[in-house]
Structure 1
Amino acid sequence: MDAMTLAAALTPDPDDSKPLYIQVNDRLRALIDRGALRRGDAIPAERDLAEMIGVSRVTVRKAFVELVESGVLLQKKGAGTFVAGRIEQPLSRLLGFSEDMRARGFEPGSVWLRREESVASPDEAMALGIAPHAPVLRLKRIRMANGQPMAIETAVMSAQFGLKPQDIGESLYDAVRKRDLLPVRALQRIRARIGAVSEIELLHLEKASAVLAIERRSFLADGRVLEVTFSCYRADLYDFVVELRGGGEGR
């Protein structure tokens, strides 16, 4: 979108009773929602945009802050402001979070909440196919993309595979790959719910926000469960996409 078209689309309406920053926010969000601005598109700097649409820099900054906090815009230090957009994850591909983010041009990161050896809970033991209270490796962290919290993830793996907390860096799948333990298939269950207070705080969401709760079990070629992962994804940033085919295709 050229500068003149962008300026016309974002210039507030003097007859609108809404505060100027809310008008700018709404108009910018609308451009992104209808695809006029797409993921990765650069947004003019605060000072430049303020001059283009005839408002103060403070007005533009306030509009940007809300859009950044809600994950619509992404600000990179020294580079500028860009459209973040939603992330689509195809359900037909078995990828770790870090590998998936790098493939999309994002820099993955983690904030560790727990990285320890423990014993399996009844639910974990059932999912892993091991005895109750058997030793497990438990990894809980906030998963980040370009510094933005995307999900809270708890991965649990039986201690029989020999991995220790110190073996796990940015990517669990990198660690298991070194031991030739990569999964060949996975079962994933997804449901929507309202986030718990602790989840909303960690993911920087508004109160009573929806999240996507995901349970995934990954299997090795011999049928053993490698790990079970319980995740809570931001519903405002993530879409899960599956390709469906007619029964007669390929016959």
Structure 2
Amino acid sequence: MPQTVTPATPASTTDRVVDGPTPKHAQLREILRRAIERELPPGSPIPSERDLAERYQVSRLTVRSAIGKLVEEGLLTRARGKGTFTATRRMELQLYLMSFTDDMRRRGLTPATELLHCGSEAPPPETAGALGLAPRQPAYRLVRRRRADGVPLAVERGWYHPRRVPGLPDLDLTSSLYDQLAQHYDLRLDHARQTVRSEAADRETARLLGIRAGDPLLVFRRVSSASGVPVEDMTSWYRGDRYEVTMQLDRTVPAEHGGNP
């Protein structure tokens, strides 16, 4: 069991809760925020409400209010029956066309992939249209769980055009799929249209990711092509407690809008 880490003994007025114009819960929140950012590694348990109330000479209601705000901000997380812990830092998820394997290696993490399913099935109409398939024409359906340093981060459920990737189930689908496509089919995905939404985890996805049903997920649907030919329609469910999305926005206007600000 991890040892509870207590913030350093107050050494100045900035480490004490005092009477004044700033509400006590706000003062305590900032004290805890500094401790989280400077002293406590991710996953560290913080003292109980009672201990914090005694330490800073405030009511437990004040402590509860301060902690609740830090939970809302994503700096703390509550585990029922276990206590309150510093949250795991989110990984920045930038929107570019890169394989999960390459992305994790770039971050200095060890990627791993579990193949959960691969077979030929009739895709839903939306996917058939995206891949240029006739209605009810079978495609390859691929389901994989992705890990980094042993932690499950994402579940991928994808569809692949059977004529573009014949024999897909025979490949090593626990390695980088994009590398496999390049090696075996000379396919290099060079364009994609991606949408992002938020979603509450259903029971099956929650089980695969080691989270609770209803926990937040970031969901990405990506239709990828190689030299203008659609190959992949994949949806990925990423843990919301592990990722945040970063986008670079430039002040440009599409040509069809006439260029007016």
Query: Of 190, 193, 214, which aligns to 1:187?
Result: 193
Q: Structure 2-normalised TM-score? A: 0.63
Q: CA deviation at 1:123?
A: 2.5
Give the residue type in structure 1 aligned to 2:247. Answer: V
Cα 1:30–1:165 change in 2 (3 A) is: farther
CA distance in 2, matches of 1:113, 1:10: 50
Distance 1:135 1:154 in 2: 15
Q: Does 1:245 align with 2:238?
A: no
- Change in Cα spacing, 1:171 to 1:8, as seen in structure 2 (3 Å) is same
Runs of 4+ displaced beyond 3 Å: 6-11, 29-32, 41-44
Q: 1:229 aligns with which of 229, 234, 245?
A: 234
After TM superposition, list the pairs within 5 Å mapping 1:102-251 onto structure 2.
102-161=105-164, 162-167=166-171, 168-178=173-183, 179-221=185-227, 223-247=228-252
Amino acid at match of 1:143: R
Provide the C-alpha distance between the structure 2 equivalents of 1:237 and 1:245, rounded to a whole number of angstroms.
27
Contact 2:201 2:212 in 1 (8 A): no
Q: State the structure with more CA Rg.
A: 2
**Gapped regions of structure 2 (runs ≥ 5):** 11-28, 45-78, 254-261
Q: What amino acid is aligned across from residue 235 of structure 2 in structure 1?
A: F
Q: Is the 8 A contact 1:151 1:232 kept in 2?
A: yes
Displacement after TM superposition at 1:191 (Å): 0.7
CA-CA distance at 1:31 after TM superposition: 5.9
Residue 203 of structure 2 contacts residue 212 of structure 2 at CA under 8 Å; is this kept in 1?
Answer: no
* 2:248 partner amino acid: E
Closer/same/farther in 2, CA of residues 164 and 192 from structure 1, 3 Å limit: same
Please name the residue that 1:94 is paired with: 97
Distance, in Å, in 2 between the alignment partners of 1:169 and 1:31 is 41
Q: Is the 8 A contact 2:141 2:157 kept in 1?
A: yes
> For the Cα contact (< 8 Å) 1:115–1:140, is it kept in 2?
yes
* Aligned-pair CA distance for 1:136: 1.5
Give the secondary structure class of the aligned counterpart of 2:180: helix
- What letter corresponds to residue 244 of structure 1 in structure 2? L
Which amino acid is the alignment partner of residue 104 of structure 1? R
Aligned length: 193
In structure 2, give the amino acid aligned to 1:201.
R
Kept in 2: contact 1:124–1:156 (CA 8 A): yes
- Write the distance in 2 (CA, Å) between the matches of 1:192 and 1:43: 24
Identical amino acids, percent of aligned pairs: 28
Contact 1:151-1:203 within 8 A present in 2 as well: yes
Q: CA deviation at 1:116?
A: 1.8
Q: What is the deviation of 1:204?
A: 1.3
Q: Report how far residue 207 of structure 1 moved.
A: 3.7
User: 1:102-157, CA deviations, whole angstroms, 9 ceiling, x for partnerless residues?
Assistant: 11111111222202233333222122121122232211011111111111101211
Structure 1 residue runs without a partner (length 5+): 1-5, 12-25, 45-65, 74-82
Conserved 8 A contact 1:117-1:165: no
Question: Would the alpha carbon gap of residues 31 and 112 (structure 1) be closer, same or farther in structure 2, given more than 3 Å must change?
Answer: farther
Aligned AA for 2:93? Q
